[in-house]
């Protein structure tokens, strides 16, 4: 579609604001959180430390990290009336719809005194602690698993695994999930973060901004891709069929989920790291099927379209091997990205400017109004 001059469809390459939270070098394939390279954070940090970094702009001391871990443990529990409502939601509901609804409802069922500084870092911590509990509460009821316990001794990564598969992860599994949470925590002005900032720019509250973000992340062109990658692998079945099936899809101009990116022109550095974790978890489980299938799909898509994998290509294979249900993959993405969403909302509050672009009007401007009686 040829654009009218000045229109940047999808706001592609439009620089909308200044931020200190995240830098993406799409040509070099670099991702930086508050000055730190994602490869260093994935190798040496943990999700709690990264959330602290995103919110405060600096790495925590040991005492500050211990305090944050303790707060996450304390803030995991939900108001009982909200638990009742989550458990009464239809079991066939899309978990992202449940998450969006429950985040919105949390603001109603959270007594003011329990809402730790609603639109501040306290609120950010509350929401970051609560999202895994929301997802786990819904999933356990539909799966007939015993009710969730807060388990304050567990890290966010270990708690997420416990919440979703009702067992404690092995050390390797916990590390794999922790790295996945680090890698998904922020990504500059992606669609869901932008939605959160638009909401915050009207001076609306943190809970509303995160509700906007959850609804946006659900889309298959954004966070929902990780679930559809697994559907694709199940459709392909074996590596021998990968070539033909991918070729057919490309011939029909279908999008292959997990590939391509608006900003990265080379491999997404998160895909590089998740590919290695997919291999390690596959080897530990004695099941390389997903990894080998993904490697084959990668080769065909890159050869035919010159496209690289993005963060969504390998994450689902790791979650699947841990026994996590496919429709919980995007909620896992959300339970990490909520740290980034809230960091951006707080940054918006600090340097507020209503976000309001314009549209180039291409419709008529001089029509004559006809009374309904004259319209036949």
Catalytic residues: 261, 312
Give the C-alpha distances (Å, rounded to integers) separating 176 from 278, 317, 324. 9, 11, 13
* Degrees, nearest 5: CA angle 264-265-269: 50
Which residues form the interface with ligand SDX (CB under 6 A)? 10, 187, 190, 221-222, 225, 255-263, 305, 307, 310-312
Sheet holding 22-25, edge to edge: 22-25, 30-33, 36-37
| Smallest distance, ligand SDX to C-beta of residue 119, A | 23
Query: How many angstroms separate the CA atoms of 68 and 47, rounded?
Result: 11
Task: Give the distance from CA 36 to its chain's centroid.
Answer: 20
Sequence length of the chain is 376
- Of 110 and 186, which CB lies nearer to ligand SDX in the complex structure? 186
Q: Of 156 and 226, which CB lies nearer to ligand SDX in the complex structure?
A: 226
Coil/strand/helix, residue 349: helix
Dist. CA 70–CA 68, nearest whole Å: 5
In the complex, the smallest distance separating the C-beta of residue 231 from ligand SDX, rounded to whole angstroms, is 12
Nearest CB to ligand SDX, comparing residues 306 and 363: 306
| Least gap, CB of 140 to ligand SDX (angstroms) | 28
Distance in Å, CB of 65 to ligand SDX, minimum: 24
Token pair recorded at residue 303 = 């050869």
**Least CB distance to ligand SDX at residue 26 (A):** 10
Integer angstrom CA distances of residue 98 from 85, 131, 164, 190, 253: 10, 11, 15, 22, 32
Q: Which is nearer to ligand SDX, 38 or 346 (CB)?
A: 38
Is 49 in a helix, a strand, or coil?
helix
Query: Are the C-beta atoms of 31 and 54 separated by less than 8 Å?
Result: no
Residue placing its CB nearer to ligand SDX in the complex, 83 or 246: 246
């Amino acid at each position: 579609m040829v654009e009218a001059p000045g229109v940047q469809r999808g706001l592609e390459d439009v620089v909308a604001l200044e931020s200190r939270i995240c830098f993406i070098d799409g040509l070099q394939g670099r991702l930086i959180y508050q000055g730190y390279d994602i490869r260093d954070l994935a190798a040496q940090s943990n999700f709690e430390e990264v959330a602290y970094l995103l919110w405060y702009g600096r790495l925590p001391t040991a005492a500050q990290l211990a305090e944050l871990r303790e707060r996450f443990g304390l803030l995991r529990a939900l108001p009982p009336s909200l638990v009742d409502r989550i458990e009464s939601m239809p079991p066939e509901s899309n978990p992202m719809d449940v998450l969006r609804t429950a985040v919105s409802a949390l603001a109603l069922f959270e007594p003011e005194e329990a809402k730790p500084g609603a639109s501040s870092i306290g609120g950010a911590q509350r929401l970051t602690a609560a999202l895994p509990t929301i997802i786990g509460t819904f999933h356990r009821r539909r799966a007939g698993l015993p009710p969730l316990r807060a388990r304050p001794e567990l890290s966010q990564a270990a708690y997420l695994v416990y919440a979703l598969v009702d067992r404690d992860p092995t050390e390797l599994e916990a590390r794999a999930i922790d790295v996945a949470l680090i890698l998904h925590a922020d990504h500059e002005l992606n669609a869901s973060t932008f939605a959160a900032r638009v909401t915050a720019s009207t001076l609306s509250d943190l809970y509303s901004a995160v509700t906007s973000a959850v609804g946006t992340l659900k889309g298959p062109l954004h966070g929902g891709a990780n679930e559809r990658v697994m559907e694709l692998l199940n459709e392909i079945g074996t590596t021998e069929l990968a070539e033909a099936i991918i070729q057919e899809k490309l011939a029909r101009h279908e999008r292959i989920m997990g590939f391509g990116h608006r900003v990265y022109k080379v491999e997404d550095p998160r895909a590089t790291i998740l590919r290695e974790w997919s291999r390690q978890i596959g080897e530990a489980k004695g099941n390389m099927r997903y990894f080998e299938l993904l490697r084959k799909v990668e080769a065909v898509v890159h050869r035919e379209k010159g496209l690289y994998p993005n963060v969504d290509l390998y994450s689902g294979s790791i979650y699947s091997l841990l026994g996590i249900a496919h429709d919980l993959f995007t909620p896992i993405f959300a339970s990490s990205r909520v740290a980034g969403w809230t960091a951006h909302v707080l940054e918006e509050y600090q340097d507020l400017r209503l976000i309001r672009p314009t549209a180039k009007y291409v419709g008529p401007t001089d029509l004559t109004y006809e009374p309904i009686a004259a319209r036949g």
